[in-house]
Amino acid sequence: MDINFKNNTQVRVRYGETDQMGYCYYGNYAQYFEVGRVEAMRSLGCSYKALEEDGVMLPVHEFQVKYHRPAYYDDLLTIETTISNIKGPKIIFDYKLFNEAGILLSEGMTSLVFVHKVTMRPMAPPPSFLKQLNENSNK
């Protein structure tokens, strides 16, 4: 099912996240995307913690990133997170990372799989999650 739920959240590049060139280290982008994903879920009223308490895990199945321009120390970054598709047990998150000037720095994608906590087998998304997503979709 195609979806178009979007959420924005911000993070600031910390000094320890930069390399000797003053660029934000490339490995930090996965963490920034995770922040965007967690906050998008929270904005739906569906936290990772609540899902896990209900016996649902969401391991990452695939991760992609494309770097356009670097982020620098103390940059305030906006992470635009879009839930774009759910197909069976898989959910797709797309990301765009912008600096304060609105310049696109990177784009990414993760696919996660809804998994039963006990059996560790893929499962359908919880109906309550789908309901919240449909009610909050930006179509």
For residues 137 and 25, the model is more confident at 25
What domains can be seen in the chain, in order of their start residue? Answer: 2-136 (3.10.129.10)
In this prediction, residue 78 carries a pLDDT of 98
Contact 13, 73 (CB under 8 A): yes
Cα three-residue angle 20-37-87, rounded to 5 degrees: 130
Taking only the tens place, the pLDDT of each residue in 56-95 is: 999 999 999 999 999 999 999 999 999 999 999 999 999 9
Residue with tokens 């998994």: 115
Percent of the chain with pLDDT over 70: 99
pLDDT at 1: 72
The whole model's pTM is what?
0.92
Pick the catalytic residue from 2, 19, 54, 74: 19
Examine the residue annotation and report whether 54 is marked as an active-site residue of this protein. no
Q: How far apart are CA 102 and CA 99, in angstroms?
A: 5
